[in-house]
């Protein structure tokens, strides 16, 4: 099962920022207890990599802002790489290591390039700034073979409204991993109860 298969089931990709590795495993535990099986980490480092090894079946990937960061993450247990924009060198690294690649795109030309590179899913980011739900709907019509994940860095976005769109693969949200571990577990459980595709 790859990232797209997982997101097709759970319809959300939590995005989290850990300065040290020790916060990752409790968060993974809270997400898993609610049924969430994927997580994107913003700052991959040695401590994160060590924690990921102990995270079981959770599908954990890295946000990378450079070729060097992507290479380090691929060499150290990342299951997928997300970048702001399309980095063809990062795509090549991911393919070399058998790691999923998820680029951030926002313009039609970027999506066309992603298709030319053989990618089947992109992150629309920052989605609210460029049209929100209406942008998603337009692109779903324009690019019927591409799968879209809506992401905005603001925690004020109501992603439930996005998930009403059954053509949208998933949303990516920082909000799911905010609050206490109990709150994360409960938000995860409620999300899965409402949106899980079985």
In SS3 terms, 110-135 reads as HHHHHHHCCCCEEEECCCCCCCHHHH
Mean per-residue pLDDT over the chain, rounded: 92
- Looking at the DSSP bridge assignments, the partners of residue 170 are 149
- Looking at the DSSP bridge assignments, the partners of residue 148 are 122
pLDDT reading at 198 higher than 70: no
Domain count for the chain, please give it.
1
What backbone phi and psi angles, to 5 degrees, belong to 146?
-90, 140
Strands 12-16 and 38-41: parallel
CB 12 within 8 A of CB 169: no
- The residue range of the domain holding 11 is 3-104+152-193
Domain assignment present for residue 162? The answer is yes
Q: Supply the pLDDT for residue 195.
A: 83
Cα–Cα nearest to 35, from 12, 15, 54: 12
pLDDT reading at 156 higher than 90: no
Domain assignment present for residue 10? The answer is yes
Look up residue 155 and give its two tokens.
Answer: 């925690």
* pLDDT: which is higher, 118 or 55: 118
CA distances from 53 to 67, 77, 102, 151, 181 (A): 22, 7, 22, 27, 21
The mean pLDDT value for 9-17 works out to 94
pLDDT reading at 52 higher than 80: yes
Q: Rounded to the nearest 5 degrees, what angle is found at the Cα of 191, between the Cα atoms of 187 and 197?
A: 155
The mean pLDDT value for 169-174 works out to 92
Cα–Cα nearest to 168, from 148, 152, 186, 188: 148
Domain assignment present for residue 117? The answer is no
Q: Supply the pLDDT for residue 157.
A: 67
Q: For position 179, which CATH number holds?
A: 3.20.20.70
Q: Supply the pLDDT for residue 189.
A: 95
Domain assignment present for residue 126? The answer is no
Q: What is the pLDDT of residues 58-73, one digit of tens each?
A: 999 999 999 999 999 9
pLDDT reading at 154 higher than 70: no
pLDDT band at 30 (very low <50, low <70, confident <90, very high): very high
Domain assignment present for residue 27? The answer is yes
Domain assignment present for residue 88? The answer is yes
């Amino acid at each position: 099962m790859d990232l797209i298969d997982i997101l097709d089931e759970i319809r959300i990709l939590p995005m989290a920022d850990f300065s040290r590795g020790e916060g990752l495993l409790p968060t993974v535990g809270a997400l898993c207890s609610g049924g969430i099986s994927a997580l994107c980490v913003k700052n991959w480092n040695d401590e994160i990599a060590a924690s990921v090894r102990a995270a079981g079946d959770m599908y954990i990937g890295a946000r990378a802002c450079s070729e060097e960061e992507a290479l380090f993450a691929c060499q150290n247990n990342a299951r997928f790489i997300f970048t702001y924009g399309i980095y063809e060198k990062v795509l090549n690294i991911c393919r070399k290591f058998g790691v999923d690649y998820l680029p951030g795109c926002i313009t039609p030309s970027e999506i066309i390039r992603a298709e030319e590179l053989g990618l089947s899913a992109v992150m629309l980011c920052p989605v609210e700034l460029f049209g929100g739900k209406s942008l998603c709907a337009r692109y779903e019509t324009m690019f019927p073979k591409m799968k879209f994940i809506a992401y905005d860095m603001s925690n004020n976005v109501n992603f439930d409204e996005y998930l009403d769109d059954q053509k949208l693969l998933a949303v990516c949200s920082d909000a799911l991993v905010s609050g206490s571990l109990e709150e994360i577990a409960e938000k995860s459980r409620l999300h899965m109860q409402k949106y899980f595709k079985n």
